[in-house]
Structure 1
Amino acid sequence: MKKFFKRLFLLIVIVLIATVVWFFKDGIDKANEFESRQPLTSLVDTVRSNPRYVPYDQVAPSLYQATIAIEDARYYQHGAVDILSLIRAAASQFIPSIPRSGGSTIAMQVVKNLYRQYDGTAVWKAAEIVLAHRLCEMYSKEEILALYVNIINYGDGYHGIDAAAHGYYGVEPSQLTVAQTTILAGIPQSPGYFQLSDHFENARAKQKLVLDAMVRNKMIDQAQADQIYQEPNSPTVLDPAWRTVMIDGSEIRKQYGFQLSQLFQSHLLTAGL
């Protein structure tokens, strides 16, 4: 019986290793395919050339803290992938007491938003990990954070922190208050559900989770969190001039081909519709 279980264990290990090798081989192939058509550096340059791009040091620091706390708490402790987060995300699918999470790091989310071709398959997830690793090799943590806040969806058609700061509050990103940044940081996880125009109470509930995460990660203490939560942060302008219409690149590609998809995305990243 011992010999049977030993062989069974060995077989399971071999299957797992083979699966991992297959997973990353396909991921590398898919990542290379994407980069052959649209290099990662080219997409980053396109974002940075956008007139609405805001450099790292021109954004309120509290937005970065809040974003890290709620999206990727171990951001400065791992590379492209946070193995602990992936394990926790997998466990959360089976253990009700563990809060549901996706396991994606900020770098992985940047890749997903740059290529906008996520199809939910394991091959894409592997490619996303490979591309995120390449991103982390070429750019600093601060540069990747700046990319994230400049391309992420903050709801109500506001893509990027420049649009969100002006669209919601009529201020520069550097002038956002902590109360404002902590509510904005929670929106990207589900923009339609947390956008401030018609789901402000949902966003407030999410802000509480953001503040709790900041306390948990020792960025602020509980007294500061309580005070921040009491400060006003409802949208003051909701300026439509800062809204951008986004098109799903995968849907365009299905109908018109990859080149037209990239043409549309390049235009949207630089100018919008």
Structure 2
Amino acid sequence: MKVLRMVRNLVLLVLGVILCAILALAFLGWQMYTQALEATPLDQKVKQVRAQESYTTFAELPETYVDAVIAAEDHRFYQHNGIDVIAIGRAVVNDIKAMSFVEGGSTITQQLAKNLYFTQEKRLTRKAAEMFMAFHIEANYTKEEIFELYVNSIYFGSGCYDVASASQAYFGVEPSQMDANQCTLLAGIPNAPSVYDLNVNPDLATQRQRQVLTLMVEHQYLTADQASAIQPAA
């Protein structure tokens, strides 16, 4: 009985420490989130993005491109409210296994929050603040608006910070003119723009495109035959 009591107390102590750590992290994240909003309100940030000369609306994006990005980056985009608990749980397990931040589990909304307000530094407080900001974004904008802002504020390599700049730099066309091959190729680049930059590592970019096509089939955006028709040559 004495041993069982000691084990129980130890478990309670560990759980208490974990709970305190979570609460402290949430508090610090909330502080970072509120300070960021006080410095620049969300609607002002959105206006800044929309004021870009190369801004592309959701209606101008090919359906294949939208599907490819969602399949590759956040396949539960239309189901969650800013964060994907399943993806976060998977990321935590993988990070623990690797003993480092190897996977983020960020949704498209979280990535938008990071692009608008926070640095790329991998810190837990920043991650918590990003989650609060993602909830705030979801409460104020539609999924289409969020997606639109996202592709107009992410980095595609080669000095391109929005989808229009990237489609013009890589393919010489406007986003609305991209074909299925170009859509699926471009959709994979933001995952690691320095690695998949088409002007630097075209072979790696093509490998990433194959991953995107596989994910599109897995999440039922394409049939296997449709993916094969787009599939680049080995």
Distance 1:220 1:30 in 2: 40
Alignment of 1:57-206 (within 5 A): 57-95=59-97, 101-206=103-208
Asked if structure 1 preserves the Cα contact closer than 8 Å seen for 2:64 and 2:180, the reply is yes
Distance 1:216 1:94 in 2: 27
Give the TM-score normalised by the residue count of structure 2: 0.92
Equivalent residue number for residue 220 of structure 2:
218
Distance 1:86 1:78 in 2: 12
Q: Deviations over 1:206-232 (max 9, x none)?
A: 00000111111111111111111148x
List structure 1 runs of 4+ shifted beyond 4 angstroms.
none
Asked if structure 1 preserves the Cα contact closer than 8 Å seen for 2:206 and 2:232, the reply is no
* Percent identity between the two aligned chains: 33
Shift of 1:204: 0.2
Secondary structure, counterpart of 2:78 in structure 1: helix
Aligned residues: 228
User: Is 1:54 aligned with 2:56?
Assistant: yes
Distance 1:183 1:230 in 2: 9
Asked if structure 1 preserves the Cα contact closer than 8 Å seen for 2:118 and 2:126, the reply is no
Distance 2:103 2:69 in 1: 15
Shift of 1:11: 2.2
Secondary structure, counterpart of 1:153 in structure 2: coil
User: Is 1:4 aligned with 2:6?
Assistant: yes
Shift of 1:116: 4.5
Secondary structure, counterpart of 2:200 in structure 1: coil
Distance 1:159 1:176 in 2: 17
Q: Deviations over 1:64-103 (max 9, x none)?
A: 111111111111121111111111112123458xxx5321
User: Is 1:33 aligned with 2:35?
Assistant: yes
Secondary structure, counterpart of 2:231 in structure 1: helix
CA gap 1:95/1:224 in 2 versus in 1, 3 angstroms: farther
Aligned-partner residue type, residue 116 of structure 2: L
Give the TM-score normalised by the residue count of structure 1: 0.79
Aligned-partner residue type, residue 101 of structure 1: E
Distance 1:27 1:164 in 2: 33
Secondary structure, counterpart of 1:152 in structure 2: coil
Q: CA RMSD in A?
A: 1.6
